[in-house]
Amino acid sequence: MFKHYLETVAQVLVRPILFYTNLPAGDWREESVTFCSITSWVLAFVLSIVIFINQLLPVGVTLWVQVTGWKLAIISPVMAVLTFMFFVIIYSIIGGALMAGLLALFSALGGLLYFGGKVMGGKSELAASIKASLYGSAVALVMIFPMIFMILSKRGILDFTNFKIGYNIVYSFFVLYLYGILAIAARKTQGIERWKAFAAALLPAAVLIILGIFVSIFVLPRMQNWVV
């Protein structure tokens, strides 16, 4: 399944015109939802590793250096099990939250794309636009880079200002690339001209821009203690 997922990601990102021309058949609640869900869990896995490295590992190392000799041999298996359990708990919480968030976000973007296409004379159904948008969630994988920036910032390689700049650059790329993919999706699924497809994709892109501004102004400053 994961191999098929990676192949689909490559098609969406590298050959979106071909992919949306031959959009996989089936109900939108089947493969497209599964695809978006896997994307969520991939992002959650990377974010869980980042949180583990930045927040839990320093605490664990502090406790570990206080144990020496034969006690180290006894406590090592226990620490390994506890470490694995903590990671699974973090991963489960983040994965569930991200899956719910991304499914809701890309379903909403699909709805906006459908509305924009209808205004431009599109003839597709709502389900087709949502399905196309859910496959577009592949672009969200680019947000792995800000997660890596969090590790660099915690190690003092980046200060928080540079972290914010890096995040905003990556997010801008995410919005721009997704805008292009949604425009292609609108053109192929709704049968409208190119300029009308790009106009239809403006509405979901605008929502993403507003969301990005909100996160940059109100959310990122609250994350400074986690990042630096």
Which pLDDT belongs to residue 30? 81
Which pLDDT belongs to residue 95? 96
Is 170:142 a contact under the CB 8 Å cutoff? Answer: yes
Is 89:101 a contact under the CB 8 Å cutoff? Answer: no
CA pair distance 118, 97, nearest whole angstrom: 32
In a domain, 202, yes or no: yes
Find where tokens 């949180």 sit.
51
In a domain, 49, yes or no: yes
Q: Looking at the 3D structure of the chain, how many domains does it have?
A: 1
Is 176:228 a contact under the CB 8 Å cutoff? Answer: no
CA pair distance 5, 12, nearest whole angstrom: 11
Which pLDDT belongs to residue 72? 64
Is 184:139 a contact under the CB 8 Å cutoff? Answer: no
In a domain, 12, yes or no: no
Candidates 143, 48, 40, 55; CA nearest to 88 is 48
Structure tokens at 189: 């699924």
Work out the burial of residue 64: count CB atoms within 10 Å of its CB; fewer than 13 is exposed, 13-18 middle, 19 or more buried.
middle
Which pLDDT belongs to residue 155? 85
Which pLDDT belongs to residue 223? 84
In a domain, 48, yes or no: yes
In a domain, 124, yes or no: yes
In a domain, 53, yes or no: yes
Give pLDDT tens digits along the chain (228 positions). Answer: 789 999 999 999 999 999 999 988 777 778 999 999 999 999 999 999 998 888 877 766 666 666 666 666 677 777 778 888 989 999 999 999 999 999 999 999 999 999 999 999 888 789 999 999 999 999 999 999 999 999 999 888 989 999 999 999 999 999 999 999 999 999 998 989 999 999 999 999 999 999 999 999 999 988 887 776
Strands (E), 61-169: none
Whole-prediction pTM: 0.91
Which pLDDT belongs to residue 62? 63
Cα angle: 185, vertex 187, 192; to 5 degrees = 155
Which pLDDT belongs to residue 2? 85
In a domain, 16, yes or no: no
Which pLDDT belongs to residue 70? 66
Domain containing 47: what range?
26-227
> H-helix or E-strand containing 156?
none
